[in-house]
Amino acid sequence: MTTTVSTFLLLAFIFHTTNAAVFTIRNNCRYTVWAGAVPGGGRQLTPGQTWSLSVAPGTTGGRIWPRTNCNFDGSGRGRCQTGDCNGLLQCQNYGTPPNTLAEYALNQYQNLDFFDISLVDGFNVPLSFRPNSGGCTRGISCTADINGQCPSQLRAPGGFFKTRCPDAYSYPKDDPTSTFTCPGGTNYNVEEQKNRSWIKIVLLLVLKDPIVLSTNVHITTDLASLLHTHKTRMTVSTISTFLLLAILSCSTNAAVFTILNNCPYTIWVGAVPGGGQQLNSGQTWALSVPSGTSGRIWPRTNCVFDGSGRGKCQTGDCNGLLRCQNYGTPPNTLAEYALNQVNNVDFFDMSLVDGFNAPLEFKPSSSSSGCTRGI
């Protein structure tokens, strides 16, 4: 790419007679782009070509995005290097990151259309998105040379986060390296940590809680001495640990997540399902979760709540509530799970897709299940 950045341009023409919208998608790049659209499907666009896409009024969650380096056969099956939608030319689902994204919702509150450009799923092609009717003239664009200037450690695949946390999700479709399974009924530990020298201290802190003693981790004299030396002089640079333990009751296949705050400061835990709770340093929270549940647990920091449980958190906030009813607002590190799924298997992962606010470890702890691979 030269200093003149080519643009994959989208123009939305609104016809007020029917309130339908026609999106005219034009490829201004000097190479072929395969447009993906939900709703709409997809189309190959060579340089200068356009595609007119009619979208029904009231449509929400609409997306249009460029795909690059695609190969499709005569039946429309193949693969794209970026933005691929399950190997189909005519997309039925959203694309696989990284890809630049145009999003819209038509005829919403007070009959307004909402539109945006998103780099949350990464970047692959410069993009402009602008109205040209209805008296609306404010267009938006992302035409910087991101690919040419992107630091090597942030390029896909891999990159900054994947190098440092190889087991964690660093983008939404990072399933092959970031989702793990264990038999249903397995016990789990989820804890924050950043470096190996601090893991030993973390284990000692955890083992002070009688619930965790069943892990049978041996406390050495050296480690006890190390803890005693450091416990009175923790600083901001010292990595603390926010530990979550999932103890599964095999008789009912229900799970009890025992959440332990090992940080020297207060953490406000968020959980869906479950709500939330303030945990001062050393405090625990036992959260019972029914079998078959899919859920999330995450730390929230720097929160202030009133007596009714309303307030705000700097990271991980869930609509200003102490007892979360919805997922947290990024950035926050995330532990995700789905219990007793196909063949009674539990699925669990850590995710950095929503950003990072605290180091995390997630590992099974039930010896009877034979599942020992932690992340």
> So what's the pLDDT on residue 306?
94
Please give the residue range of the domain that contains residue 240: 161-369
| Percent with pLDDT over 70 in the chain | 65
* pLDDT in the model for residue 191: 41
C-alpha distances in angstroms, 365 versus 18, 208, 369? 60, 17, 9
Mean pLDDT within 165-186:
62
> Is residue 13 scored above 60 in pLDDT?
no
Least confident range from 30-39, 183-192, 284-293, 339-348: namely: 183-192
Q: Is residue 152 part of a domain?
A: no
Digit-coded pLDDT (tens) for 303-350: 999 999 999 999 999 999 999 999 998 888 888 888 888 888 888 888
78 and 12, same structural domain?
yes
Question: Is residue 55 within 8 Å of residue 34, measured between CB atoms?
Answer: no
d(CA 144, CA 184): 48
187: pLDDT strictly greater than 90: no
pLDDT, residue 368, reads 61
220-276 pLDDT, tens digit per residue, is 333 233 323 333 332 323 345 565 544 333 334 567 777 788 778 888 999 999 999
Q: Mean pLDDT, to the nearest integer, of 29-43?
A: 94
pLDDT score recorded for residue 263: 79
Are 201 and 226 within 8 A, CB to CB?
A: yes
Predicted confidence band of residue 52 (pLDDT cuts 50, 70, 90): confident
- Rounded mean pLDDT of 208-230? 30
Looking at the chain, the whole-number percentage of residues with pLDDT higher than 90 is 24
Map residue 205 onto helix, strand or coil: helix
In a domain, 96, yes or no: yes
Q: What pLDDT, on a 0 to 100 scale, did the predictor assign at position 37?
A: 95
Average pLDDT, the chain: 72
Residue with tokens 């929503």: 354
Is residue 138 domain-shared with residue 206, that is, in the same domain? Answer: no
Residues 194 and 143 in one domain: no
Mean pLDDT of 41-65: 91
Total structural domains within the chain: 2
Fill in the amino acid letter for 186. T
Place of tokens 């007892």: 323
Could you tell me if residue 1 is inside a domain? no
pLDDT band at 35 (very low <50, low <70, confident <90, very high): very high
Which range has the worst mean pLDDT, 85-99, 102-116, 179-193, 222-236? 222-236
The last residue of a domain, from among 88, 112, 147: 147
360 with 320, same domain?
yes
Residues 200 and 226 reside in one and the same domain: yes
Which region, left, alpha or beta, applies to residue 176 given φ > 0 means left and ψ of -120 to 50 means alpha?
A: alpha
Within a domain: residue 155? no
27, 104: one domain: yes
Whether 96 has a pLDDT exceeding 90, the answer reads no
Residue 52 lies in a domain: yes
Q: Are 204 and 84 members of one domain?
A: no
Query: Of 45-59, 81-95, 351-365, where does mean pLDDT reach its minimum?
Result: 351-365
What integer pLDDT is reported at residue 228 of this predicted model? Answer: 33
Question: Do 117 and 72 sit in the same domain of this protein?
Answer: yes
Residue 375 domain flag? no
Does residue 238 lie within any of the structural domains? Answer: yes
Residues 138, 169 share a domain: no
**Of the spans 9-18, 63-72, 251-260, which averages the highest pLDDT?**
63-72
209 neighbors 375 (Cβ within 8 angstroms):
no
Statement: residue 1 has pLDDT above 70: no
Within this chain, do residues 24 and 97 fall inside the same structural domain, yes or no? yes
Per the DSSP assignment, residues forming a β-bridge with 126 are none
Check whether 84 has a pLDDT greater than 50: yes
Q: What CATH number did the domain enclosing 193 receive?
A: 2.60.110.10
Sequence-separated (6 or more) residues with CB below 8 Å from residue 13: 21, 22, 23, 24, 132, 133
374 belongs to a structural domain: no
Number of H helices, E strands in the chain: 5, 23
Categorize the per-residue pLDDT at 108 as very low, low, confident or very high, splitting at 50, 70 and 90: confident
Choosing from 92, 120, 147, the residue where a domain stops is: 147
Tell me: do 166 and 141 sit in the same domain.
no
d(Cα 302, Cα 310) in Å, to the nearest integer?
A: 14
Q: Which of 100, 125, 147 is the last residue of a domain?
A: 147
Average confidence (pLDDT) over 135-140: 76
59 lies in the same domain as 111: yes
